[in-house]
Amino acid sequence: MLTILLATRNRHKVREFNRLLRVPVRLLAMDRFPQLRAASENGATFRENAAKKAIAVSRRIPLPVLAEDSGIEVKALGNRPGVRSARLAGPAQDDAANNRKMLRLLADVPRSGRRARYVCCIALAVGGRVVRFFEGTCSGRIGMKGRGKAGFGYDPLFIPNGCTRTMAELGSRVKDRISHRAKAVAKLEDYLRKFRSNGI
Residues identified as active-site: 69
3-state secondary structure of 192: helix
62 and 128 Cβ atoms separated by less than 8 Å: no
For 55-113, give the DSSP string: HHHHTTSSS-EEEEEEEEEEGGGTTEEGGGGGGTT-TT--HHHHHHHHHHHTTTS-GGG
Cis amide linkage into residue 160, ω under 30° from 0: no
CA angle 136, 140, 143 (to 5 degrees): 135
Q: Across-strand partners of 137?
A: 119
Among 70, 64, 71, residue whose Cα is nearest residue 191? 64
Handedness of CA 198, 186, 12, 153 (dihedral sign): positive
How far, in Å, CA of 56 to CA of 91, rounded? 22
